[in-house]
Amino acid sequence: MTLLFPELEQDELPTHATTTTTAQTWCDPSKYNEVVGIDFGCSSVHYYMARCKRKGKMAFCELKSWLLQLSSGTLLLCESAHLAVPQTQNSLAQPFTADQLRDLYKQLRSRGVTLKLAPHLHTGRRMRRWVAHNFPELMRTAEKTDAADALSLAVYVDRCNEISLANPYTSFDRSPLRDFGREITRRSNNVLNAERTVEYRGEFHPLIMKLARKVRQRGGFPSLKFVVSVASTLFCDDDGKLLEFTHCGQRPGKWSWMRYVVRMTPWHQRGGVARSNHMWHTFRPHFQRRAKRLGISVKSGGAYKQFALHSNHEKSVRTSAMKSYREMLIRARELCIREASRMGAGRIELTDVSHEVMHGR
């Protein structure tokens, strides 16, 4: 059995481990005059300005006027759940309709205000904890409040900026590729939930498990759980036939698969059992092993340290570990596809092609 990554030869602490920068591909906060975070409550909006340390609260009806008075060169931050989800008959609690959001985006741009959207799952999990740990004079605890979330957005992006941000959306139409990923997640959840109850013996999905065992044997992967979490996002076992999922007749490329199916991004809401298996059960031990060989402990009292509390050295090792983990995922995907072909796998189309053509996407 060939080991996939000769990590002992690669575990060197990157030379930039003790340096930090807030300049990222999604934005460089240092280029802005002010960084403002806002968060919505029941009928009010809280804000925090990171540079002048001004905070406040306003009624929702005052928000748009207030936003359009922000000075040119301001970086405005908000969770995508508040300023990127339009109000519909099924989401009446959302503050703006699609047309109102598009108009707001346009007016902000015309005033020289840059809006960036944050993945709301990380406002508390990473941002609030990081700010409470590094700036206790600003936030005594990481307890959730609307005011704390507004402050966390502004200070975290201004001083750390390690979680990718999104631009305002150009369209609120459903994305067929995202729908494809959601359908695979649903199917993969069914496989993984069933098989883990019988310790992955293949009683419910024998062809998926046969594929996973072959791939693990060939690739030397860390666990059967890891491989079946990959295989179940590529294939299904349908009435005794192994079938590969396709989108508009094609197999999505590796990066589309990573982004829309496995959800290996901060924008992973309802990422499913496979993503949980990767990030919770497999990546953390992978990260710990690499850190331990460098004399760095990423555990405290037997529990893993929260990512928000990692030192610069620990962050650097984590980044290196994540890079190698992604490479391992892609390698496992390639071997699954190759081995499934040997097993005579067919294909199953999951995308409504008429919907795809109608929307031109």
Q: Are residues 191 and 151 in the same domain?
A: no
Of 91, 125, 159, which closes a domain? 159
Tokens representing residue 79 in the block? 């969770």
CATH number at residue 87: 3.30.420.10
pLDDT given at position 20: 61
Q: Are residues 267 and 204 in the same domain?
A: yes
Q: Does residue 277 fall inside a structural domain?
A: yes
CA distance 124 to 122: 5
Domain containing 147: what range? 33-159
Q: Does residue 347 fall inside a structural domain?
A: yes
Q: Are residues 70 and 202 in the same domain?
A: no
Q: Does residue 340 fall inside a structural domain?
A: yes
pLDDT given at position 274: 95
Q: Are residues 206 and 322 in the same domain?
A: yes
Q: Are residues 207 and 330 in the same domain?
A: yes
Q: Are residues 192 and 119 in the same domain?
A: no
pLDDT given at position 168: 94
CA distance 346 to 235: 9
Which parts of the chain sit beneath pLDDT 50? 1-19, 354-361
pLDDT given at position 269: 73
Q: Are residues 231 and 149 in the same domain?
A: no
Are 235 and 208 in contact, with CB atoms under 8 Å apart? yes
CA atoms within 13 A on the CB side of 106: 7
**pLDDT tens-digit readout, 127-154:** 999 999 999 999 988 888 999 999 999 9
Are 168 and 115 in contact, with CB atoms under 8 Å apart? yes
Q: Does residue 25 fall inside a structural domain?
A: no
Q: Are residues 185 and 238 in the same domain?
A: yes
**pLDDT tens-digit readout, 70-127:** 999 999 999 998 998 888 877 777 888 999 999 999 999 999 999 999 998 777 778 9
Of 108, 126, 159, which closes a domain? 159
CA atoms within 13 A on the CB side of 295: 2
Overall number of domains in the chain: 2
